[in-house]
A = this chain, B = another copy of it.
């Protein structure tokens, strides 16, 4: 392992303590188990509450996107583990302003189970909670509803949060998030595994010099394992899936997210983005905006993904809505 830790079984607690100290003007840590990062502005009068969450180890996802104009709270699980129902419920109690709340998270069985229990507890208090599952990982299942959520989380959370800020009611927020999810597709590649602090070793074995296109952010199997190929070939293969998936055609506009899983440097994301821009340009598909960096990581995993979000005027407005969360500031 090439990481420094203290007690590996306290790493999430220590991370949360550090994070909430670092950004103490914007967020605080609440709840019986201290597993809810909540915006200091929450609850916000007359606004639908936006709650995101999932297992730790994907920072800055989820906690980094709690703040002004973005999520009201993030519920935090252990590494690669869903949060418990109790903090899911505590998040609702902390952010609900009488307009209900929306849970948004990647589609993983454990998260669904626990967030659903949190929603039931809130329902007992008469608070309506709706859920939107992110399912952007195109390679993870044939059926869209069975797919996992990965870097597309960022766009879907952003869409919901902006819709709520713009005064949308709970149904409108859910509709905006679902529309964003339906227009969002991601495919990644891994060249290795993250170091897991609990075991002190890699999460799975992968020979140096190999790669696996389509691998999930927890190491879920991809298309096939093979020798590393040139970046442009891999990007082409990714776009060959994403473009038909979103039925992109000449004149369409997309937002591009080049996401590092942790140990892929910005240099490589830019080399890959260069090819994305070339291919989309040849097809007359316009790039509206681009983001590149570790937006949804797996700690120090070598690998990256490209997400395309097909835009219309509403989605552009939602993406452009200003935010001031610690890990996404936009004017």
Contacts and interface: CB of A to CB of B under 8 A. Distances in A.
Interface string A265-279: 111111111110100
Given A208-B1, A230-B6, A265-B262, A18 B272 contact: yes
Chain A contact residues: helix, strand, loop or mixed: mixed
A60 interface: yes
Q: How large is the interface on A (under 10, 10 to 19, 20 to 34, 35 or more residues)?
A: 35 or more
Contacts of A19: 270
A145 interface: no
Given A262-B265, A300-B302, A5 B271 contact: yes
Contacts of A256: 22
A229 interface: yes
Among A14, A211, A231, A258, the most chain B Cβ lie within 10 Å of the Cβ of A14
A299 interface: yes
Interface in A224-268: 228-232, 234, 256, 258, 262-268
Given A5-B271, A293-B327, 13 more contacts: A1-B228, A2-B192, A3-B191, A3-B302, A4-B228, A5-B268, A14-B271, A15-B270, A21-B287, A57-B267, A262-B265, A263-B302, A324-B331
